[in-house]
């Protein structure tokens, strides 16, 4: 599925990129931004200390005060071809949609995830797809948050939700795992904190004769894929509002019901 980027975003990103540090022993690239610190990875080690994330984006960490910490958007899913395009992997697909629209390459491997770094407008962001399989997602997310010192209010987890109507979005600032094993793992690895945003994507309920596990590993029909295309566009817009104007404006946009004529399109 393809999502067209807003005109000028790629040009803005290119102008703001200040350099790339290549590591011969790892496929991961660290992009330097003005007044932004992602930290420097140790290519020989893919582990990080226990998560001690700051709960405030105003915390000054790294080279000095005033550095702008990146937003970390994490899409949940299962790696491998057999899971591609399934309901349980809509988090991965939302990350792919953001990456394509903003010209961010999500291809480097670090901390058990495929990661990409770039800008949305002039705001630094990281996009990640944990490769641990869904139920162990926290192993990757906990290390990313800890190593890059991501403020928890700038960690946004994107995942599928059986309890939301199909293709519906819901953005909340905090909450429990709601029975979702990927979220359960993340909360466990963040020392039981639940105070981080999450963008849920509705996949609907399974038919009566089908179990939940079989349903979430089921592929979408062509009609459902077309409907999800609109959902991903809406999710992309929500992410742009979030990093530029703040979480509250983005939540208002996402959680306000669409006009009836839009729903009937």
Residues 210-239: tens digit of each pLDDT = 999 999 999 999 999 999 999 999 999 999
| Spatial CA neighbour of 111 closest among 157, 166, 148 | 148
Residues 140-184: tens digit of each pLDDT = 999 999 999 999 999 999 999 999 999 999 999 999 998 899 999
Q: Which domains does the chain have, with CATH numbers?
A: 71-262 (3.40.50.1470)
> Does residue 28 carry a pLDDT above 90?
no
Query: How big is the CA angle at 249 (ends 61 and 155), to the nearest 5 degrees?
Result: 35
More confident of the two residues 120 and 36: 120
- 15 falls in which pLDDT band (50, 70, 90)? very low
Buried b (16+ CB within 10 A) or exposed e, 15-49: ebeeeeeeeeebebbbbebeebbbeebeeeebebe
- 258 falls in which pLDDT band (50, 70, 90)? confident
Strand duo 155-161 + 198-202: pairing: parallel
> Which residues are catalytically annotated?
88
Q: Which range is least confidently modeled, 30-39, 116-125, 245-254?
A: 30-39
Show the beta-strand stretches assigned E in the chain. Answer: 20-21, 30-31, 71-75, 108-110, 113-120, 123-130, 155-161, 169-172, 198-202
Supply φ then ψ for residue 175, to 5 degrees: 155, 180
Mean pLDDT of the chain: 81
Residue 127, SS3?
Answer: strand
Residue 158, token pair as written in the block: 């994107």
d(CA 251, CA 265): 23
Helix 90-102 crosses helix 9-16 at what angle (to 10 degrees)? Answer: 80
Structure confidence at residue 262 (pLDDT): 56
């Amino acid at each position: 599925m393809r999502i067209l980027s807003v005109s000028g975003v790629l040009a803005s990103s290119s102008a703001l990129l200040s350099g790339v540090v290549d590591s011969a022993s790892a496929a991961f690239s660290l992009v330097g931004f003005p007044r932004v610190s992602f930290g420097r990875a140790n290519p020989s080690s893919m582990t990080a200390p226990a998560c001690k994330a700051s709960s405030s984006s105003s915390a000054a960490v790294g080279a000095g005060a005033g550095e702008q910490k990146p937003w970390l958007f994490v899409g949940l899913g299962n790696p491998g071809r057999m899971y591609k395009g399934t309901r349980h992997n809509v988090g991965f697909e939302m990350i792919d949609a953001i990456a394509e629209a903003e010209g961010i390459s999500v291809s480097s491997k670090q901390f058990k995830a495929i990661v990409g770094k770039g800008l949305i407008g002039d705001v630094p962001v990281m996009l990640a797809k944990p490769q641990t399989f869904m139920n162990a997602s926290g192993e990757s997310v906990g290390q990313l948050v800890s190593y890059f010192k991501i403020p928890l209010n700038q960690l946004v987890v994107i995942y599928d939700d059986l309890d939301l109507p199909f293709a519906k979005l819901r953005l909340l600032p905090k909450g429990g795992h709601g029975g979702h094993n990927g979220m359960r793992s993340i909360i466990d690895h963040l020392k039981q904190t639940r105070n981080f945003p999450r963008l849920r994507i509705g996949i609907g309920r399974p038919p009566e004769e089908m179990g939940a596990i079989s349903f979430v590993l089921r592929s979408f029909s062509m009609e459902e894929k077309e409907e999800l295309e609109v959902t991903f566009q809406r999710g992309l817009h929500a992410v742009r509002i979030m990093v530029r104007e703040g979480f509250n404006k983005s939540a208002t946009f996402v959680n306000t019901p669409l006009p009836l004529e839009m729903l009937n399109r």
